[in-house]
Amino acid sequence: ANTIYRTDYTSPPFLIDTIELDFELEPQRTTVINKMQVRRNPEAKYSPKFQLDGEVLQLISLHLDGMPYKNVQIDETGLTLYEVPDAFELTITSACEPANNTSLMGLYLSNGHFFTQCEAQGFRKITYFLDRPDVMARYTVTLRANKTAYPILLSNGNLIESGDLADGKHYAKWHDPFAKPSYLFALVAAQLVALEERITTRSGAQKLLQVWVEAHDLDKTRHAMDSLIHAIQWDEARFGLELDLERFMLVAVSDFNMGAMENKGLNIFNTQYVLANPQTATDIDYTNIEAVVGHEYFHNWTGNRVTCRDWFQLSLKEGLTVFRDQEFSADMAAADAVNAAAARANQRIENVRILQQTQFTEDAGPMAHPVRPESYVEINNFYTATVYEKGAEVVRMYQTLLGREGFRQGMDLYFQRHDGQAVTCDDFRQAMADANQRDLTQFEGWYSQLGTPYVSVRTRYDEAAQTYAVTLAQHHKPAPNALQVVRAPLLIPFALGLVDTNGQDLALQLDNENAPGAATRMLELSAAEQTFCFINVRRRPVPSLLRDFSAPVIVEYDYTDDELIFLLAHDSDPFNRWAAGQQLATRTLLTHARQAENTQLNTHETNPALIEAFGSVLRNPTLTPAFRAQVLTLPTEAYLAEHMDEANPAAVHAARQNLRVQLANALSDDWFAIYAQHQTPGPYQPTPAAMGQRALKNLALSYLTDSEHTERTLHLAQTQYDTANNMSDRGAALSALIHLGGELAQAALTDFYQRFENEPLAIDKWFAFQARQTRAEMDVINVVRTLLRHPAFTSKNPNRVRALIFSFISGNPAQFHAPHGAGYTLWAEQVLALDTLNPQLAARLARLLERWRKFIPPLREQMHKALETVLASAQSKDVREIIHKALL
Ligand code: B3K
Ligand code: ZN
């Protein structure tokens, strides 16, 4: 397959100013008439031919300026027109087959209704077009369909006409006043109802907001609507950005490859990120819905009004929009919280946990790429943690370096310069630089260099001189796929504090300063190595490094256990308090994992100081329940395995399980007390405070399932299961019962299924709980195999596939990597089954084995064989690119 390179970019030879689309919607065969006004791009190299993208389309007719045009060639990638004039009208009629489209790209059916997904390159499966983001056109769309089957007809922008037609059909005509790239086109033709609200934005304009769902889901739309209203208000307040359309629609669809899609004025959502009521959705679902609704809404400016010149610039819109949704969630949580700083820290911890678990791993493996990739075979494979999560960290660093005000000025200049344009990451960086009169040339490295930077720290206290010198040195591990070797020092904002022996922060004074200043210093590391010398330091402090995770790097510093325990107890930076606890736990767990590899680890005397330190946090009433839950949540098995020289999932599981048992038993009185104290009586409330209570209470329940108090815990879990008024509690109880095993678990599973038979998102949870169970006596691969044959399982629904197969493979490493290798056989089988059905989803599944080289030899060899099996039969370029890179 062809590799596309960033540096090969050239401007489009033609521009398309307007497009009129006319759809005759039929499931088996939909006809599309496409009328475009085309002209040569004065800024591009002259090309005698005009090439349009088009895939799996049947061409019916083609007219140029109203006359049939014959000087055309067709192949499987599109159409080439020869000898075209400088400006012309092109009318193309073609057909596609929505009912046979299982890829969920282009126009497809879900529950018998029509939906589209065009990003990145799905529009070419709908009609012939210059399907690239730097070709921006004004769209007018007419939809025609049977009125009974598809009473609701939606597209981008404003509704300008609608009415009845002959033969039981009706039509709707939509016009989007904003020029947009084809990836933002959308249509929906379905039987839906909407929750509606009218709001007034800050300029006084009236707007109509709608959340469209199937009728039986109308009781699950309130939270999405509230999230949308909050997002609109937040973007006005924080960035001065207003909703620019008369109406804004969200639509829920059951079959969707990703979370949601920011189509102009018509955001289409995976049901998982829009539907919620207390019975079916967990606190995490509520939180995710707020984040994703915000994310898609924020794209209206960062992505839609200013879009990407080419797909290598994807992080221009995704990194920036993830940063914006993270800030939105943090501000929302802080606004509702008693302790705003703690609520913010909690958000930050959650974001960083994901970054460290997914992006750091990606950056160390065969798919490692810079935030702005240099090449790709299939662009859908580059909607990655690096582009999204590391991209968001890169945007955050501008704000860290320039301050909130400076960042806002950079954003204002960015829109002033580029509204209505398709631009690059360099354009964004330049706007930030110019608005703040700051040279950000060096910052380019964050876009061009792959891999996670390391910052190693050395400190030297001079008692006589009362100085404390901190030396920061940046370096990289060798690039995993040898793609890139050029490295230059990065500009790293490194927040540091010094904690005195009494637990207080020192007021910091550098040797070139006259007076002590703030307790947290933002050091700017721009060279390979730099030393910062603090003066008037009366006692040796403990350094608090990279506060609030000020840069996406790995810090290396030889803390003693006592220092970590000290920071966990005293650091004024809550993020670093959490990080100290995680580092201490990781260290202990990795030591035990190595012991488990060599001997048989059974009941190790775990570091009693660690248990005491965690117990102090657990009992500390001045800390929020949410924060205590974060600290007491051990690093995942996947994270720990990644930190071994050779990953050994069985050893990691044994070590982690052992520490859980120790924490469960040593602190059992505390856990029972916590469980009793943090009940949330009364109606369910998705507030940060109530969510924190539930998180800590359900963590207590989870630990107690590993304690000696089996009967008592079983009783708590059963009671909670029976009496819960929300899914967080019922789900946690079910998962506890499954972990305890036996007849009660079976009965609860049966009850859960019957209770939620008509709620697909709850049934997804039912599959996921079973796939994630870690009870030692259970052979979970066989549970999964049995569930694959369950009547409610289907490979055609991505949520169901993720619930069962992905949950098992990435959420249950010890069982998946069982020594006999049956997990890998299952993986290969499922990748190949999905490969022809839904290549995008298949490629995501394929990626779950890309780190195969990291594992101990017996597993590595079997994984290698499974990869070879897939390579031998995979058809899609999506899967082939992943497997090919994994095997390089
Ligand atoms: N922009 C979409 C992602 C589309 C992915 C296509 N493979 C969702 C988002 O990031 O908001
Ligand atoms: Zn996005």
State yes or no: ipTM above 0.90. Answer: yes
How far CA 644 is from CA of 555, 589, 639, in Å, comes to 17, 10, 9
Long-range own/partner contacts, residues 485-489 (CB < 8 A, 24 or more apart): 486/449, 487/449, 488/442, 488/445, 488/449, 489/442, 489/445, 489/525, 489/526, 489/527, 489/528
pLDDT at 604 over 70: no
User: How confident is the model over 203-248, as pLDDT tens digits?
Assistant: 999 999 999 999 999 999 999 999 999 999 999 999 999 999 999 9
User: How confident is the model over 404-442, as pLDDT tens digits?
Assistant: 999 999 999 999 999 999 999 999 999 999 999 999 999
Domains 309-448 and 454-563 share a fold: no
Q: How many CA atoms lie within 13 A of 548 on its CB side?
A: 19
Separation of CA 669 and ligand 2 centre (Å): 45
What is the best residue among 274, 318, 326, 379 to mutate for testing ligand 1's pocket, by most ligand atoms within 8 Å of CB? 318
Catalytically active residues are: 296
* Nearest residue (CA) to ligand 1, atom 5: 119
Mean pLDDT of 473-489: 80
Of the listed ligands, the closest to the CA of 317 is 2
Band (356; pLDDT cuts 50, 70, 90): very high
Residues with Cβ within 8 Å of residue 706, at least 6 apart in sequence: 657, 660, 661, 664, 739
Separation of CA 459 and ligand 2 centre (Å): 41
pLDDT value of residue 478? 82
- Map residue 206 onto helix, strand or coil: strand
Band (483; pLDDT cuts 50, 70, 90): low
What is the best residue among 108, 258, 328 to mutate for testing ligand 1's pocket, by most ligand atoms within 8 Å of CB? 258
pLDDT value of residue 607? 85
What is the best residue among 103, 115, 261 to mutate for testing ligand 1's pocket, by most ligand atoms within 8 Å of CB? 261
Q: What dotted CATH number matches 4-307?
A: 2.60.40.1730
User: How confident is the model over 240-280, as pLDDT tens digits?
Assistant: 999 999 999 999 999 999 999 999 999 999 999 999 999 99
User: How confident is the model over 788-842, as pLDDT tens digits?
Assistant: 999 999 999 999 999 999 999 999 999 999 999 999 999 999 999 999 999 999 9
* Nearest residue (CA) to ligand 1, atom 8: 261
Q: Where are the domains of the chain?
A: 4-307, 309-448, 454-563
Strands of 247-253's sheet, edge to edge? 193-200, 206-213, 247-253, 266-270, 260-261
Strands of 49-53's sheet, edge to edge? 49-53, 78-82, 72-75
Mean pLDDT of 132-161: 98
Fold of the CATH domain 309-448 = Neutral Protease; domain 2 (1.10.390)
Strands (DSSP E) contained in 332-446 are 375-376, 422-423
Q: DSSP states of 295-341 as a string?
A: HHHHHTTBTTTBEESSGGGHHHHHHHHHHHHHHHHHHHHHHH-SSHH
User: How confident is the model over 317-330, as pLDDT tens digits?
Assistant: 999 999 999 999 99
Q: Is the domain 454-563 a CATH 3.40.50.1100 member? A: no
List residues near ligand 1 (CB under 6 A): 119-120, 258, 260-262, 295-296, 299, 318, 380, 383
% of the chain exceeding 70 in pLDDT: 99
How far apart are the C-alpha atoms of 733 and 700, rounded to whole Å?
11
Residues with CB under 5 A from ligand 2 (ion): 318, 321
> Would you give the distance in Å from CA 706 to the centre of its chain?
31
